Structure 1
Amino acid sequence: MKKKVLIIRFNSIGDLVLTTPVIDALYDNDFEIHYLVKEVFSSILIPNPKVKKVWTLDDNLSAVVKDLKKQNFNFVIDLHNNFRSKKVASALKVKKYTFYKPRIKYWLMTKLGIKSKSEGHIVDRFLKVISPIIKTIEKPKVSFHFSNELNSSDLKKLPEAFVAVVVGTAFKTKTIPVEKLINVIDQIDSKFVLIGGPDDVELGKTIENQVTKPLTNLVGQLSINDSARVIEKSDLVLTGDTGMMHISAAMDKKIVAVFGSTHPVLGYSPYSNDDQNRSAIIQNESLNCRPCTKQGRHSCPKGHFKCMRELSIDKIVQVVQEKLEI
């Protein structure tokens, strides 16, 4: 009889995609996998055939725990390590394995600017959590599973060859300034498709109205699934540090990732599924105030936003063109 395991990771798009090697390793070692996630992100996990059941978290934590207790799990894998995940794991009264967060180290790095060696990529750190209970781990591969939902008719508007541009992120300090995106698009001889969520609609409109050539603006019109379809069909993805960057990496796409207030040293760079160097990271290496945050901020704490504002448009154009030519 298979042992049952509950993985806990509540959010967000990128983090959930980066847990897929954990799912694969547990599945390959004959575990029945259940997953607890916030309802809004459940569509990332539901299509994964290796997950037996996706449990969703709402405001009623006690009701969820009550249902989970009936499952008689053998283990809990807490990949979130916060108050609520610890509460769930403790309530189930089974052996638990918890993801280590170097909170003091990150605080010193982001608040005091004390530089430190990277803890490694988050994928490898997630896998380390389950190492005591699995026999083998094959070469980790991040994956994204499409749902069976009907594709938006907007996907029929896609040009034959194009660069996908992820115009926004959850935080302003991780978002590529709109004037830079406009300049980059105008200087590159390629077709462009803009994607993003409902909060990015104004950004999309501004870019569409100010570029000097036609493009396809699908910002705010697509689900996560359909946005991923756009990425799948693209020749290259230009993006900030966001969930769509990790979905792009899972599809082995060429990526030009622009980092602002966050930094790859925190472990969230595009993960390579093989030895091919498909992604390029552009960042302001001269600032000692980076990273000032692990997740992103709504404004620059110093007020200058140099991490994005001082990035060279010519450099972004050059890297995009080089990647397109490979």
Structure 2
Amino acid sequence: MDKGLKILVIRFSSMGDIIYTTPIVRCLKQQLPGAQIHFLTKPAFKYIYDNNPYVDELHLLKGSLSDTIDEIRAGQFDYIIDLHNNLRTALIKLKTGIKSSTYKKQTVRKWLSLKLRLKLVPPTHLVERYMQTVSFLGVKNDGLPIDYYIKANHTLQQLLPPSHQQNYVAFIIGATHFTKRMPNSKIISICRQINHPVVLLGGNDVKANADEIEAALGPQVYNACGKTSLDESVFLVSKAKKVIGFDTGLTHIAEAFNVPIASIWGGTVPELLGVQPYQVKDAQVIGVELPCRPCSKFGLEKCPLGHFKCMNEIPEQEVATFANNL
């Protein structure tokens, strides 16, 4: 392969989808001698590639798409690797005229799989799907985990009380949509069966939930929701003995540190999107087989049938046994 290629990789959102682009960027940089690898994303997701040694320059989507296109034209790239495949990336490729390779979303197959409850999409991980986009360059998957680089030198002593600084279980209780999150009563019941300190992680959107869980469980639980920055939360995940989490970005970021993970799924399923835990030695994907599941690709604000069995019937003992086996 020619040396010195200048390549722009594009993925605008979301957190989990961008996290899974990191092996592709790493393989491009390491396997193409002299290549310059640039990455374009939304400003909100800049933090995912901060400090990443495999990116020569990080570009942020501007308010005007035409301004972004002008910047890309000026960059004189040899290739665009489009890992998003939407209208904006189509316009970028059309207007710049740069040679490109585009991720195949299998939109129709996913829609039919969801509506007809058929398994029409192979359970291939998203990383492998992305990797097909760069295979024309002779780039192959190195089989290593995703990359995430913590930004600051945090310590457990700064972030946790003494009672929770050793052998703690990180329980990530946040997720964007209701059908991805477990009810508080269920979380409380599981935590009561865990024999180790539990640290609750999530943003301000689940702080009220965490307050209720903490009030029910007392000193066994430390509530870090809304108290720690994302970078601090990632650090706490990286130092945990076990991680329990739902289909949310922080759970996916945890995969970068090869911490044992119990990944719990409600109304969504990992096979459809290809986002089951990637290159984690000790990972369990936990979900309930139901005729109504999955009810959506990305989650809903309420259970369409009202019973929410996909979360209410999660086997508590399975989760607790995972957490207790340190």
User: Would you call these one fold, judging by a TM-score over 0.5?
Assistant: yes
Range moving further from structure 2, 308-317 or 246-255: 308-317
Q: What's the offset of the Cα at 1:201?
A: 1.2
Task: Identify which of 304, 309, 315 aligns with 1:312.
Answer: 315
Structure 2 unmatched runs, 5+: none
Task: Identify which of 3, 26, 29 aligns with 1:27.
Answer: 29
Distance, in Å, in 2 between the alignment partners of 1:59 and 1:151 is 37
Tell me, yes or no, if the aligned pair for 2:24 and 2:141 is still in contact at 8 Å. Answer: no
Structure-2 change in CA distance of 1:53 and 1:125 (3 Å) = same
Amino acid at match of 2:94: S
Aligned to 1:229: 235
Q: What's the offset of the Cα at 1:150?
A: 6.7
Pairing 1:1-326 to 2, within 5 Å after superposition: 2-28=4-30, 29-30=32-33, 31-148=35-152, 154-157=158-161, 158-266=164-272, 267-272=274-279, 276=281, 278-285=282-289, 287-321=290-324, 324-325=325-326
Structure-2 change in CA distance of 1:232 and 1:183 (3 Å) = same
Distance, in Å, in 2 between the alignment partners of 1:209 and 1:17 is 34
Question: Can you list the C-alpha shifts for 1:228-278, whole angstroms capped at 9, x where unaligned?
Answer: 1001110000101111221111110011111011112221101015xx3x0
Tell me, yes or no, if the aligned pair for 2:264 and 2:286 is still in contact at 8 Å. Answer: yes
Structure-2 change in CA distance of 1:199 and 1:135 (3 Å) = closer
Range moving further from structure 2, 121-130 or 131-140: 131-140
Range moving further from structure 2, 59-68 or 179-188: 59-68
How many residue pairs get matched? 319
Distance, in Å, in 1 between the alignment partners of 2:190 and 2:144 is 34
Amino acid at match of 1:245: T
Q: What's the offset of the Cα at 1:154?
A: 4.8
Distance, in Å, in 2 between the alignment partners of 1:162 and 1:241 is 21
Tell me, yes or no, if the aligned pair for 2:200 and 2:223 is still in contact at 8 Å. Answer: yes
Q: What's the offset of the Cα at 1:125?
A: 0.6
Distance, in Å, in 1 between the alignment partners of 2:121 and 2:102 is 22
Range moving further from structure 2, 256-265 or 106-115: 106-115
Structure 1 unmatched runs, 5+: none
Q: What's the offset of the Cα at 1:138?
A: 2.5
Question: Can you list the C-alpha shifts for 1:203-236, whole angstroms capped at 9, x where unaligned?
Answer: 1111111114442111012222111100111000
Amino acid at match of 1:272: Q
Q: What's the offset of the Cα at 1:199?
A: 1.2
Displaced runs of 4 or more, over 3 A: 148-154
Distance, in Å, in 2 between the alignment partners of 1:20 and 1:174 is 24
Distance, in Å, in 2 between the alignment partners of 1:243 and 1:139 is 21
SS at 2:234's partner residue? helix
- Percentage of pairs with the same residue: 31
Q: What's the offset of the Cα at 1:101?
A: 0.7
Structure-2 change in CA distance of 1:171 and 1:186 (3 Å) = same
Amino acid at match of 1:259: W
Structure-2 change in CA distance of 1:151 and 1:316 (3 Å) = closer
Range moving further from structure 2, 226-235 or 7-16: 7-16
Question: Can you list the C-alpha shifts for 1:41-66, whole angstroms capped at 9, x where unaligned?
Answer: 10111210110111112432221221
Question: Can you list the C-alpha shifts for 1:128-152, whole angstroms capped at 9, x where unaligned?
Answer: 1100013544324312112247779
Distance, in Å, in 2 between the alignment partners of 1:123 and 1:137 is 9
Distance, in Å, in 2 between the alignment partners of 1:213 and 1:166 is 18
Structure-2 change in CA distance of 1:223 and 1:92 (3 Å) = farther
Distance, in Å, in 1 between the alignment partners of 2:301 and 2:155 is 33
Amino acid at match of 2:254: S
SS at 1:51's partner residue? coil
Tell me, yes or no, if the aligned pair for 1:172 and 1:297 is still in contact at 8 Å. Answer: yes
Distance, in Å, in 1 between the alignment partners of 2:88 and 2:307 is 36
SS at 2:167's partner residue? coil
SS at 2:6's partner residue? strand
Structure-2 change in CA distance of 1:257 and 1:27 (3 Å) = same
